[in-house]
Amino acid sequence: MPENENSFYRGCRQSEWKKEGKMPLPASPKAFYPDERKINELNQCETSISWEDGPQSLVVFIKSEEDNTDFGNIKHGIFHIDNEKAQQKLEKDGYSEYVTVDHRRDPNSNNPYHGNICFNANYFYTIDPGGRRRPQRHLLDIAAWCFVNAQIKFIPPTSYRNINEQNELPMHNKGDSIS
């Protein structure tokens, strides 16, 4: 069981996932959309996250992406999310039954802090007459905004080189420019 279930990191793999301008909300809801091509054994589509479970979790997360081209899943930065706040928003908006978070380890990842945001595929997707899964974007947006609005900080890629073993590095706070 993790030491801290109160926050996690979500990598910013695509530039469109990051809004240019001022904090506190540089994340776009698209940053939290699940991979609809894969469905787990619980009929859920997943979005990978990295839990802030210990003093080395951010260091491990960044180092787990170093070997990927241009830092792979964290190419454009890292969103630091308050899970407790996100869960409260999901509950308030009536989505806690359909969106959960887990600590399942990805066997293909060298990151021991890996976890997922899990979206109920039956609720967030429909099947068209051709048998293709189609997202209900309006529902995904509402659920994803719960995570966007629970953002603590944004860690820009320029800070990765300055990280130390205590997970301390310059982070952007409310009001800072991130462009």
Q: What is the DSSP string of the chain?
A: --S--SEEEEE--SGGGB--SBSS--B-GGGG--BTT---TTSEEEEEEEE--STTHHHHHHHHHTTSGGGGGGTT-EEEEEHHHHHHHHHHTT-TTTEEEE-PPPTT-S-TTEEEEEEEHHHHEEE-TTS-EEE-HHHHHHHHHHHHTTEEEEE-GGGGGG--TTS----B-TT-B--
Specify if 172 maps to a domain. no
Report the predicted TM-score, pTM, of the whole model to 2 decimal places.
Answer: 0.82
Range of the domain at 56: 7-162
Number of domains in the chain: 1
Specify if 179 maps to a domain. no
Specify if 168 maps to a domain. no
Specify if 98 maps to a domain. yes
* C-alpha–C-alpha distance, residues 167 and 53, integer Å: 12
pLDDT at 175 over 50: no
Specify if 1 maps to a domain. no
pLDDT at 5: 60
Looking up tokens 């301390």 gives 168
55-69, 107-121, 161-175 — most confident range: 107-121
For residue range 127-144, list pLDDT tens digits in order: 999 988 899 999 999 999
Specify if 89 maps to a domain. yes
pLDDT at 45: 94
Specify if 68 maps to a domain. yes
21-30, 49-58, 144-153, 168-177 — most confident range: 144-153
82 beta partners: 7
Give the CA-trace dihedral at 125, 51, 16, 30, to 10 degrees: 20
Specify if 171 maps to a domain. no
Q: Mean pLDDT for the chain?
A: 82
